[in-house]
């Protein structure tokens, strides 16, 4: 048995049997004790210097913008296989076959290079800001699901955070988690460079591009969005700009990548909320972190701090489909942004 597995059995296996992760509270108590000894932790993300003198926005600005660096279209291989992402059918059309045997045509599913950009009313480029990158799950489109059903832009607006939203379209309305270009090392960093320029144009102040290009970034991934989020976290090229990762019933895999990112940057935060379908993977990751002496919490009843790790039960009578709006709290994205007081408008 591997060392972390023995530690895991000692610390959290009982909670697994009860399907509640109850022993995570021990990690919280330990973390709080060390925090008391060391003094107050720094808030995350750390405020950064801004360059523009523009006044706060008088109205919300939202747009769907085509990007040259969007995850799709994609002409590369499937990582780890050496095989092209697309096969060519008899009629010349290109088709992708998922690991579960589903067939999706390129011209129907992988040809949308638009990105949802949202800057809320009152956004002040003169003040420290954060960029929220949303990775949607299966069966989604930006307009129908991210904007209307999941209300991601509205949650950011209501939070009062000095934040903007960037949400790329992945596979259109399909059961596929493929990351496309975001599989390629550094590709996400190039995407964020284009996003800074597009946000500055949408904002209306060309000088704001410098602030957008240096703003801290937080990933929010729902469901199948975990695959692209994991790839971007470890290979995207953001380095210390990535200050937090939030998984909304999304930890279906890539535990090695998420573990590596958590372990290698203890100044950033990690929050994973789960229901039944991802409970086991959350428990497994909790055990890995325990073996590596990384503490975690089971509640978030205070502001987020550097190095925070939390595993949150989604609660009773909550569905996976509604998890972006109804989870351990209503409107979880709004709730988490309110826990970053240094980034209020």
pLDDT digit string (tens) for 30-84? 444 444 434 334 555 555 555 556 889 999 999 999 999 999 999 999 999 989 9
* Residue 306: pLDDT over 50: yes
CB atoms within 10 A of CB 3: 9
Return the higher-pLDDT residue of 263 and 34.
Answer: 263
93 and 22 within one domain: no
196 and 80 within one domain: no
pLDDT digits (tens, 9 = 90+) for 131-147: 999 999 999 999 999 99
Lowest-confidence segment of 10-24, 149-163, 268-282 by average pLDDT: 10-24
328 and 224 within one domain: yes
265 and 119 within one domain: yes
255 and 155 within one domain: yes
* Residue 300: pLDDT over 60: yes
For residue 149, give every residue at least 6 positions away whose Cβ sits within 8 Å of its Cβ, in sequence order, or none: 325
State how beta strands 61-66 and 114-119 pair. Answer: antiparallel
Q: Where do the DSSP E strands lie in the chain?
A: 61-66, 87-88, 94-97, 103-105, 114-119, 130-135, 163-168, 217-222, 242-248, 269-274, 309-313
264 and 170 within one domain: yes
**For the whole model, what pTM was predicted?**
0.85
Q: Whole-angstrom Cα distance, residue 124 to residue 236?
A: 27
Question: Which CATH number do you get for residue 179?
Answer: 3.40.50.1820
**Backbone torsions φ then ψ of 94, nearest 5 degrees:** -100, 140
186 and 61 within one domain: yes
Domain that holds residue 296: 3-72+112-343
Q: Give the three-class secondary structure for 74.
A: coil
91 and 224 within one domain: no
Among the ranges 6-10, 19-23, 261-265, which has the highest mean pLDDT value?
A: 261-265
Lowest-confidence segment of 5-19, 74-88, 308-322 by average pLDDT: 5-19
Q: What is the count of structural domains for the chain?
A: 2
pLDDT of residue 52: 58
Residues 185-208 have a mean pLDDT of 96
179 and 93 within one domain: no
């Amino acid at each position: 048995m591997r060392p972390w597995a023995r530690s895991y059995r000692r610390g959290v296996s009982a909670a697994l049997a009860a399907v509640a992760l109850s022993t995570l509270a021990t990690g919280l108590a330990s973390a709080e004790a060390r925090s008391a000894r060391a003094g107050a932790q720094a808030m995350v993300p750390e405020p950064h210097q801004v360059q523009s003198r523009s006044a706060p926005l008088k109205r919300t600005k939202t747009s769907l913008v085509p990007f040259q660096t969007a995850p799709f279209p994609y002409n590369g291989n499937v990582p780890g296989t050496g095989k092209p992402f697309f096969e060519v059918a008899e009629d010349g059309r290109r088709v992708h076959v998922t690991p579960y045997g589903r067939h999706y045509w390129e011209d129907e599913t992988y040809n949308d290079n638009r990105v949802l950009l949202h800057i809320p009313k009152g956004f002040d480029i003169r003040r420290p800001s954060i960029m929220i990158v949303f990775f949607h799950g299966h069966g989604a489109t930006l307009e129908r699901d991210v904007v209307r059903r999941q209300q991601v832009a509205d949650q950011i607006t209501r939070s009062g955070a000095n934040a903007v939203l960037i949400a790329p379209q992945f596979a259109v309305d399909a059961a596929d988690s493929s990351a496309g270009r975001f599989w390629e090392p550094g590709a996400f960093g190039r995407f964020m460079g284009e996003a800074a320029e597009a946000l500055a144009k949408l904002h209306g102040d060309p000088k704001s591009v410098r602030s957008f290009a240096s703003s801290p970034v937080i990933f929010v991934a729902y469901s199948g969005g975990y695959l692209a989020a994991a790839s971007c976290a470890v290979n995207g090229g953001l380095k210390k700009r990535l200050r937090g990762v939030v998984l909304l019933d999304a930890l279906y895999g890539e535990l090695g990548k998420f573990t590596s990112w958590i372990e290698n940057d203890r100044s950033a935060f990690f929050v994973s909320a789960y229901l039944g379908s991802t409970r086991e993977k959350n428990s497994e990751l909790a055990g890995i972190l325990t073996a590596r002496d990384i503490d975690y919490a089971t509640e978030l009843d205070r502001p987020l701090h550097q190095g925070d790790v939390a595993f949150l039960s989604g609660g009773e009578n909550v569905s996976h489909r509604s998890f972006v709006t109804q989870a351990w709290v209503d409107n979880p994205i709004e709730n988490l942004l309110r826990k970053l007081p240094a980034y209020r408008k």
